[in-house]
Structure 1
Amino acid sequence: MTRKNTDAAQTGSGPETMIGARTLEGLARTAHDSDSDEALVLRARDGEYSAFETLFHRHRALVYRFAYQMVQRRDDAEDITQEAFVRAYQNLARYRDEAKFTTWLLRIVTNLCTDRTRMHQRRTGLETREAAGGLTWMTVGDTDDPVQNLEQDQRRAALKAALNALPAHHRTAVVLRDIEEREYDEIAAIFGCSIGGAKLRVLRGRRALRDRIAPLLGEVQP
């Protein structure tokens, strides 16, 4: 952390104060909206906190959406979103612009989601997740037929249950590629592997998901 970042933390102007004092929806846009992420990082490193606030405003929806798809609990996703930006701010000096800022940020989020999932599983095991807020893929819209709607809801629930039961590395690969639609080079950067390795992780994740969802879908067939 730079001297100015340290000073900001000591005077209570860092992300812990700013994010804690305002809701995720309440942060205002700043004058840096047209700047690139890399330019904003440089300004934030120099102690210009409004630049980091712009990064938060720009990417908070991405971080929350990804965190929620990973942990399937809104409160946890909000906590992870805040913690991810706190850690990003604290570690700006470690960011290297060889990777996109969002790639670096999602790597932080991935680690936080993995830790939170392990903690939750130790406490409660693999429990059934809330039914609201389903996946944005492999779903169809509601119809006027209540029986068909029920079957669709059951399939959505089965898909979510299967995804949540996957090991963290498989779930992360599937969410990044098939939900967030990230390119393989970005997935590789997040995992710290080659592009071929990223493709293999996604393939294995899809196979694992298919193996888990097949018996669940069989249970909901009429």
Structure 2
Amino acid sequence: MEEQLIMRAKKGDDEAFQRLIEMHIKTVEKFAFQLGAKESSVEDITQEVFIKVYRFLSKHTRGKFTTWLYTITLNVVRDQYRTEARHSKRVKAMQDEGEASVYVETFYDDETKALHEQIQSLDEKYKVPIILHYFHDLTYAEIADVLKVSEGAIKTRMMRAKKQLKEKLEKVGERQ
């Protein structure tokens, strides 16, 4: 069904494109947030992702559509970080924590909030594979496609990320 929608959307069928958006909008929003986007930016990021999908859909010829969508989302979030860094050198920590905690509640239960916070503290090269594998069910091969690295690199990053997360979560547990 998705392939048919993609083919129709490539031929200019706006209804088919709208259905593609409806199928994937929650995935894009969730991934953008998990990458560290603020709640106030998630809608703009999602809109930008689908604008890029619309503009470049005719050029998408190989691989899974969702893999391509994750790649676009990752790049848009990175662009957003760069833009924010240029325009604002300071962000009020209290404001960010308040926004994040409200938004986290919509995606996570109490038990996983600490995990989310620790994942956010990881370097991007470790954070993204963890999010894609555990929250979006991508295989290591699919993650390698999204990040344009080898599957071996993903295995190494996953191993290191899990080790770092374990250490961070143990420290959180000791404080409680």
Task: Sort the TM-score into its range (normalised by shorter chain).
Answer: 0.7 to 0.9
Contact kept, 8 Å, 2:129 with 2:143, in 1: the verdict is yes
Unaligned runs of 5+ in 1: 1-35, 141-155
Match of 1:204 in 2: 160
Contact kept, 8 Å, 1:136 with 1:179, in 2: the verdict is no
Offset, 1:51: 1.3
Aligned partner of residue 26 in structure 2, secondary structure: helix
Distance in 2, Cα, partners of 1:114 & 1:58: 23
Match of 2:29 in 1: 64
Superposition TM-score, scaled by structure 2 size: 0.80
Superposition TM-score, scaled by structure 1 size: 0.65
Match of 1:101 in 2: 65
Distance in 2, Cα, partners of 1:191 & 1:80: 19
Match of 1:55 in 2: 20
Q: Cα distance 1:124–1:209, how it changes in 2: closer, same or farther (>3 A)?
A: farther
Where do 1:63-142 residues align within 5 Å?
63-96=28-61, 98-120=62-84, 123-124=89-90, 127=93, 129=97, 130-132=100-102, 133-134=104-105, 136=108, 140=111
The answer as to 2:137 corresponding to 1:181 is yes
Query: Taking every aligned residue pair, what percent have the same amino acid on both sides?
Result: 28
Unaligned runs of 5+ in 2: none
Offset, 1:188: 1.4
The answer as to 2:134 corresponding to 1:164 is no
Q: Cα distance 1:165–1:86, how it changes in 2: closer, same or farther (>3 A)?
A: same
1:129-165 Cα shifts (integer Å, max 9, x gaps):
332325648x64xxxxxxxxxxxxxxx5543332222
Match of 1:194 in 2: 150
The answer as to 2:12 corresponding to 1:42 is no
Specify the structure having the higher radius of gyration (Cα): 1
Q: Which has the higher contact order (CA 8 A, sep 6+)?
A: 2
Q: Which protein is richer in helix relative to its size?
A: 2
Contact kept, 8 Å, 2:28 with 2:46, in 1: the verdict is yes
Offset, 1:108: 0.4
Partner AA of 2:73 in structure 1: V
